[in-house]
Chain A
C-alpha cells in the first residue's frame, strides 16, 4: 500500500514538473564531435528567440561516447530531449518505446534525396529527422598506380579492381587495396558497399526476412577473401581511419571512404575517386547511411523538442552542415529544388560520384538488436579475412544467428 502511495506522489510530482516545463523548458540536446559547434549555437539562439522562455542545454560529446550516453540516460529514465543517433538504432529505440515518432511535412519529405527517409522509417512512421548522410566512393592513389606501371583509371568491376590491386602488390610490394576489418561499424559498412554492388541484401525491409544467405553474399565474401591477399597485412586490426592513414602514407593503392575524405588526404598525393566497382551480379552501389536527430520519449516536452530538431535539420542549418565548410557530407536534401542556385555539389565531378550513386544505394540494415547484428556480420567478415572457415559456412552461420536479432 505504502509503495503505491509513494508512486502516486512521485507521478503527480512529475506531472507537475512536466506542466511547468511546457511553459519554460530546458531542452537537453546531445550532439557528437566538436565540428560545427558555432552553427548549432546559431540555431539554438534562433530557437530560443522563436520560443521565448525556453532554453537549450547543448552537450557536445566525442564520437565514441555520444550515442551510448544517450542510450544510458534513456534506459536510466532521464532521457535527453533530442540526441544525435545513428539511424540504425532507431528500430531498437522505437521497439523499446524510448523515442517518439516525428512528423515531417510533405514538402520536406519530397526534398530529401532518394532513400534517405527509408533509413528512418519503420512501421510506416518516421523515428528521427535525418541529419547527416553519406555515400561512398573508391579512392585511388594515382602515385602508386603509376609506380606499378598502371594508368590511374578507376576499375569498373571487381575483376578490374582485383587485377589492379594485384598488379600494385606484385610490382611495388605495397597493398593494392586497404580493408577495414576490426570489430567496428565501419567494417560492416565497407562490406555492405560491395554487397550492394553485387545485388545482395542482409534483410528485406518489407518482409523483415533475413536474406543474407544468398549467392550474392557468397560471391561478395569470396571476393573479400581474394582481396585480403592483395590488401595491407592484418585488416582485422584496422578501422577506416587507420586505412586512410596508410593511404596518406603511400602504402595503399585504393580504399573506400566518404566525400569528406578529400579534405583529409595529405597534400601532394594525387588521388582520384570513382564509384564502387560492380560485382558480377549487380551494378555499382553504395551504402546509404544516415544519422538522425531522435526525439526521446519522457522528457516532458517532446513537441518542443521536435520543433527544435526540425529547425536543426532544415534549410540553412542543414546546408551548412552538409557543405564542405561544415562536415562535407553527401547532400541530404535536394538543395537545388529548395532554392539554392548553385549548391556546393553542383557541376563538380568529385561530388557527382557521391550524389549520382544515391539512387542505386542500399540502406543500413535495420535490426532490433543492431549491435548484435553488427557483431555477427563482422565475425563473418573477419572469418574470411582470417581464413577461419569456408565462405559458405560463414554466411550460413551468420544468417542463422541474425534470425535472433531482427
Chain B
C-alpha cells in the first residue's frame, strides 16, 4: 500500500492540478489504490450480495412470517417458538447429529485404513487406487439409484444373497424399517464420501518423506508404531480438515437420503436438511421452512468457525516445521 501509493510521490500536487481532463480523472482514480481496489472487488462483491447476502437476509425475514402458498404475514418468533418446543424437531436435531457422527467417523476410519492399504507396497496397487474412484466419479444420484436397487428386498442383490446363504428366510426390505433404513442411508453416505477422504489421506501419506519411516525402522519402530507416531501426526492436518469438511457435507447431505427414503419411514431418516426441504419446498410452508434454514445456517456457521479455528491451530503448529 504505502510505497506504491501515489500520495507519497513528490509531484502529486502538480499532477492532480492538471487532472481536469477525462484522462486525468481516470489517472487519479487509478492512482488512488483504495478506489482501484474497490473497482476490482466490485464484481465479486455484487455477485456475493446477489447470491449470498440477499437470499440470506430474505430467509431470515421469512422466518419471522407465516409465508405459505397464499401469502405471508409477520408473526414474530412464533416459528422458532414452535420449533424449540417441538419434540419432533428436537428428535430431528439429535438424529442429525447421530447421522453426522456415524457417517463422519466411518469415513475417517475407513478412509485411514483404505489410504494405508493403498499406500502399502502391494502388487496391483495402481489398480486398487483406480477402483476407489467410481463412487466419487459417478454422479451421486445415479449411485443412489444403484443402492436403491441393492437395498430392494424383493429384487435386490443383498436380500437375495442373504436369502441364498440362509441368513434371511424371506425378502427383507432394508429401507422399510426405521433402523435398517437409517443405517442403510449411513452406508450409502459413507460410500459416496469415502473416496474423497481416502484420496486426500493417501495424498497426505504420500507426502510423508520416506526417510522418516526408514529412520524409524532403523531405530526398531514397528509398523504400528510408525503409523501411530509418524503417519498420524504427519497427516493430522488432513485428518482434521477432512473431518470438519465431512461434518459439513454430511450435515448437508440431501440427495442420498431423499433418493433412498425421502426421510422415512416415519421420519427415521429425516435429518435437519430433509426436514427443511419438506417443510419449505414440498409443503410450501416457506415461513416455517425458513426458520429451519436459519437454524441450519447457524449450525453450519458454528462448524465453519471450528474449521477455521482448527486450520489456524494447525498452521501455527506446523508453521515452524
Contact = CB atoms under 8 A, between A and B. Distances in A.
B70 A382 contact: no
A385 B266 CA distance: 10
A92 interface: yes
A233 B69 contact: no
22 contacts: A75-B284, A92-B69, A96-B71, A173-B170, A183-B263, A183-B264, A232-B173, A233-B173, A233-B176, A234-B171, A234-B172, A234-B173, A236-B175, A237-B153, A237-B173, A237-B176, A249-B154, A249-B155, A371-B282, A371-B284, A382-B266, A386-B266
B154 A235 contact: no
Given A233-B153, A236-B177, A71 B264 contact: no
A71 B284 contact: yes
Interface in B273-288: 282-284
Interface of B: 68-71, 152-155, 170-178, 262-267, 282-284
Contacts of B153: 233-234, 237
Interface string A258-290: 000000000000000000000000000000000
A339 to B, nearest CB: 41
A246 interface: yes
Interface of A: 68, 71, 74-75, 92, 95-98, 173, 181-183, 232-238, 246, 249, 251, 369, 371-372, 375, 379, 382-383, 385-386, 388
B266 A379 contact: yes
B176 A234 contact: yes
Contacts of B152: 237
B265 A237 contact: yes
A183 B265 CA distance: 7
A379 B264 CA distance: 9
A339 B155 CA distance: 49
Nearest to B159: A233
Contacts of A372: 283
9 nearest CB pairs, A to B: A234-B173, A234-B176, A96-B70, A236-B265, A237-B176, A237-B173, A236-B176, A237-B175, A75-B69
Given A173-B170, A233-B170, A234-B153, A383 B266 contact: yes
A69 to B, nearest CB: 12
A235 B176 contact: yes
A311 to B, nearest CB: 28
Contacts of B174: 234, 237
Contacts of A234: 153, 171-177
A123 B258 CA distance: 37
Contacts of A382: 264-266
A380 B173 CA distance: 20
A181 B173 CA distance: 12
A246 B154 contact: yes
Contacts of B171: 232-234
Contacts of B71: 96
A173 B171 CA distance: 10
A100 to B, nearest CB: 15
Nearest to A89: B69
